[in-house]
Amino acid sequence: MNQDTKNREVPEWDAYFMGIAEEVAKRSKDPSSQNGCVIVDSRKRPVSFGYNGTIQGADESKMTLSERPMKYYFAIHSEMNALLFAGRDVTGCTLYNKMATCENCLKYCLQAGIKRFVYKELRVGSYRNGEKKSMTNIATDEAIIRLLVACPDVETLNITNGKTYIEDILDSYDKDSDEYQSLVKWVK
């Protein structure tokens, strides 16, 4: 241990950048979910930040984020904001996000060259709290699994429990269910 830090805890890099992502999330005006994102290069230098919100320069009183499903037409996810404002190539970078990336943002992040995803929460949604998942939820989970299986050099990590994104998704299903069986086949 370094003499300068022996009397205090210095966070590991993943915890450090996740803490920054959580601070960035506080900028979101979405009343139901505040998500923050930090993109970091291989030398541990921040490249970009983003949080979920409405489009830049918009009169937010005309585009409320509290009305579902209307908010989905106005909201831009934290990952997309971070990608759009990066201003440079993000190939090989790590993306720190408070909530796991949705299937749409995951697709764009993979296309941009992000190689590592670190998150703290699986996803927000009542179906994650024991309620029956809709066909849309199941299709979303399948899309995420198939994207990640197709990109084996991409790493994912839930900083809270140490699981991968695929493990987290599969663990949210009853292992005896037809839905679980339809998802696990993509992993084998």
CATH of 3-184, one of 3.20.20.80, 3.50.30.60, 3.40.50.10490, 3.40.140.10: 3.40.140.10
Query: Which of 73, 72, 28, 71 is CA-nearest to residue 49?
Result: 28
Q: Tens-of-pLDDT digits for all 188 residues of the chain?
A: 566 667 788 899 999 999 999 999 999 988 888 999 999 999 999 999 999 998 888 887 777 777 777 777 888 999 999 999 999 999 999 999 999 999 999 999 999 999 999 999 886 543 444 556 777 788 889 999 999 999 999 999 999 999 999 999 999 888 999 999 999 999 97
pTM reported for the whole predicted model: 0.87
Task: Verify whether residue 103 is a known catalytic residue.
Answer: no
Name the phi and psi angles at 40, rounded to 5. -130, 140
Of 12, 67, 79, 121, the catalytic one is: 79
Domain extent listing, the chain: 3-184
Q: What end-to-end distance do the CA atoms of the chain give, in Å?
A: 42
CA–CA separation, 143 and 148 (whole Å) = 9
User: Residue 103 corresponds to which tokens in the numbers above?
Assistant: 């299937």
